[in-house]
Every structure is written in C-alpha cells, then in structure tokens.
C-alpha cells in the first residue's frame, strides 16, 4: 500500500515538472495560457465562442480542447476561424501537463499571444493537475446550484477566477448567488468572480476585460504563479 501511494506521488511530481517546462516554453515565446475548468455543460466552450472573435482583435489566440471523446468542441471553435487542437483523453478525467506539452508542439508559438486550454468537464480531477497555465479559471452554471464551492472546494481554492454562467436561467431556479460568492470567498479570498450569460451576452464584456487585464499585468510585472 505504501508503494502504491509513493508511486502515485511520483506521477504528481513528474506532472509538476512538465507543467513547469510548459510554462517556461510558453514564456520563452511570450505566450500566456489560461486553464478553463468546470463541470460538463457549465458553458466553457460557449464562453470561448462568445469572446474569441473580440479577443482576436487584440491578440493572436489558440485553443486546446480536452475531452474524453469527440471533436465537437474543437469544431465549434474552428468555425470561428481560431487555431484549435483537440485532445481526446480516452477515459482520463483531466488533462495533464504531458498532453499539453505534446499539444503545444503542434503550434508555432511565435505566432500566438494567448492559449486557452479547455479542460475535461469535471469539477474534481483537473484541480489536482497543474498543466503549466498562468491562470486557472473555474466555470460553474446557475442550474448546478449554490452548494458547489462548499462541496467541491479544491478546484475553487486553486483558481484565479470564478465565472458564474447561465445567469439568464436565474429566474427559473432557486439559487442563492450570495451563498456561492460567500462560500467561494471563504475557500479562496483572492478569487475574483464574474457573472455571465453566453446566451444573452451579459457579463461577457467583463470576462473579456479580465482576460485582457491578465495579459497586461503579466506584461507589466512579468510575475507568474504556479498552480498550488
């Protein structure tokens, strides 16, 4: 039993090393990376669809899509004329640094300013695996209910931004936004929060501004932060 745990720890360490390499590689080419996490159907792809064209006016953008199966999400991004690569994990419940390392080799990084990585739809596992991104984002949607930060704390603890999506459904739900904000802030006091509806466009401008601010801040300070 001890040996099993030891080896699993080594897998984690190996992942962290490759994540560090990814970050160095990205910085060498002046590329900034975002890791977008969240439950299946929380609206991760929709958030990208709603903002990529606008972000494309200021930055050269690429997207890496992570899914167990299909290339549906990559096709949605491709339709917008954005460079995209689909990773199919088979059964794996998260993206790991090594997959991102291989994916980055498919791009000419000198032609990219920012990369969005859309992780596998899962509110648990992706939180444990640094992929080498500079910022970590968690997307939840209002129909998921207001107990998610308390019940899935790890992913909120390791995130820089919480997006609360599907705000247009709020009138049809019994969801306490204040509880989401309060619980999330107790778990992670530095977590920023943006409310969006990809359907009505509400809050998408705040999302775009937040993304731009991260790139500007990075450029001003040169500071980046690891995952845990």
Contact residues for its own copies, defined by CB under 8 A:
3-4, 7, 10-11, 39-41, 67-70, 72, 91, 93, 120-125, 128, 141, 143-145, 147-148, 150-154, 166, 168-169, 172-173
Give the residue with the Cβ less far from its own copies, 27 or 168. Answer: 168
Give the residue with the Cβ less far from its own copies, 147 or 216. Answer: 147
**Other C-beta atoms lying within 10 Å of the C-beta of residue 213:** 11
Residue 25 CB, shortest distance to its own copies, in Å, is: 22
In sequence order, which residues have a C-beta less than 8 Å from that of residue 9 and are 6 or more positions away? none
Give the residue with the Cβ less far from its own copies, 93 or 193. Answer: 93
Residue 227 CB, shortest distance to its own copies, in Å, is: 14
Long-range contacts at 183-190 (CB < 8 A, ≥ 24 apart): 183/146, 183/147, 183/149, 183/150, 184/149, 184/156, 187/149, 187/150, 187/153, 187/156, 187/157, 188/156, 188/157, 188/158, 188/159, 190/160
Give the residue with the Cβ less far from its own copies, 17 or 72. Answer: 72
Residue 89 CB, shortest distance to its own copies, in Å, is: 9
Q: What is the CA radius of gyration of the chain?
A: 17
Residue 94 CB, shortest distance to its own copies, in Å, is: 8
């Amino acid at each position: 039993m001890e040996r099993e745990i030891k080896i699993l720890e080594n897998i984690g360490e190996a992942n962290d090393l490759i994540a560090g390499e990814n970050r160095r590689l990205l910085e060498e080419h002046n590329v900034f990376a975002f890791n977008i996490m969240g439950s299946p159907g929380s609206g991760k792809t929709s958030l990208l669809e709603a903002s990529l064209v606008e972000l494309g006016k200021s930055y050269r953008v690429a997207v890496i899509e992570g899914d167990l199966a299909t290339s549906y999400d990559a096709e949605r991004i491709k339709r917008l004329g954005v460079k995209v690569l689909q990773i199919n994990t088979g059964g794996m419940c998260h993206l790991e640094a090594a997959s991102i390392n291989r994916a980055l080799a498919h791009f000419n990084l000198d032609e990219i300013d920012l990369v969005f990585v859309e992780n596998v739809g899962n509110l648990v596992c992706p939180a444990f695996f640094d992929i080498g991104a500079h910022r970590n984002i968690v997307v939840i949607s209002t129909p998921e209910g207001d107990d998610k930060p308390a019940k899935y704390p790890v992913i909120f603890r390791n995130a820089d931004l919480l997006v609360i999506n599907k705000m247009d459904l709020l009138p049809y739900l019994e969801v306490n936004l204040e509880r989401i904000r309060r619980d999330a802030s107790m778990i992670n006091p530095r977590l920023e929060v943006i409310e969006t509806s990809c359907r009505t466009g509400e809050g998408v401008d705040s999302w775009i501004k937040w993304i731009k601010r991260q790139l500007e801040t990075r450029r001003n300070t040169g500071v980046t932060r690891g995952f845990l």
